[in-house]
Amino acid sequence: MNAGAEVLLRVENLRVSIGESQILGGVSFGVRQGGITGLLGRNGVGKTTTLRGILGLLPRTGTVTLAGESLTALPVHEIVRRGVGYVPEDRDVFAGLTIEENLRLTERAGSEHRYPLVYELFPELRDRAAQLAGTLSGGQQQMLSLARALLNASNRILLIDEPTKGLSPVVVKRVAEALQRAAEVTTILLVEQNLAVARHLVRDVVVLDQGLVTFAGDIAELIDDPALARRHLGLSAAGH
């Protein structure tokens, strides 16, 4: 891992098995305080599983520490309350609740200071407050899911899983901007398949392959070296 800023989140020897099959075979990496760290890798290598494992949403072994405090034995909601926010891959907004209710559900002490930022980034969430989340477009659902995580001023790190997946270029740009703004107030661990977006936002990068970390370092080092990029990400021409 790069020298410099201190490590905020440390994952050590994370193993997850579902049924008979081992999905993660001992993942270890650190996320530096501040900015955006990327978690990359081909489809199905275990990126989502890593995030869910950190949160304790899956049975796992290994250790997870946040700023030196062990989270490993805590239940999911306690891990989140210690400051780990989650924006899942499939958004998981509550379809039968309105936008306003989705946001209210997430509120904690300090949320009132985050509403201005959330509404500045995503004004449609205020304009459509009474609309059921299930009737929102995919992009709007993604905004709501991001807003939910941003509302928690006590979050120290956000785990964000493929926020630009399936979105039009215009919305991808808005989401990328929102991530950049969010990174000013919190650390982010970002899974992102859109390498142009990742290249733009991410500083450090961790690459997974078959349930193990195969590369950890500077993103430029990885993407700008075609041989490295091909080996780790399965790409012929990356970093455009």
Ligand X SMILES: Nc1ncnc2c1ncn2[C@@H]1O[C@H](COP(=O)(O)OP(=O)(O)OP(=O)(O)O)[C@@H](O)[C@H]1O
Q: Does 48 bind Mg ion (CB under 5 A)?
A: yes
Give, as one character, the DSSP assignment of residue 36.
E
Torsion sign over Cα 125, 128, 132, 134 = negative
Contacts with Mg ion, 81-100, as mask; x by CB under 5 A: --------x-----------
Nearer to another protein, 51 or 223 (CB): 51
Q: Which stretches of the chain bind another protein, using CB under 8 A?
A: 55, 57, 75-77, 80-81, 86, 88, 92, 94-97, 101, 104-106, 108, 148, 152
Q: Can you tell me the distance from the alpha carbon of 207 to that of 41, in angstroms, rounded to the nearest whole number?
A: 5
Nearer to Mg ion, 4 or 44 (CB): 44
Nearer to ligand X, 48 or 142 (CB): 48
- 43 contact, one of Mg ion, ligand X, another protein, none, CB 5-8 Å limit per kind: ligand X
Q: Can you tell me the distance from the alpha carbon of 190 to that of 50, in angstroms, rounded to the nearest whole number?
A: 11
* Helix 138-150 with 99-106: angle, nearest 10 deg: 20
Q: Can you tell me the distance from the alpha carbon of 178 to that of 210, in angstroms, rounded to the nearest whole number?
A: 31
Q: Which stretches of the chain bind ligand X, using CB under 6 A?
A: 18, 23, 41, 43-49, 89
- Least Å from the CB of residue 3 to ligand X: 28
Contact 187, 39 (CB under 8 A): no
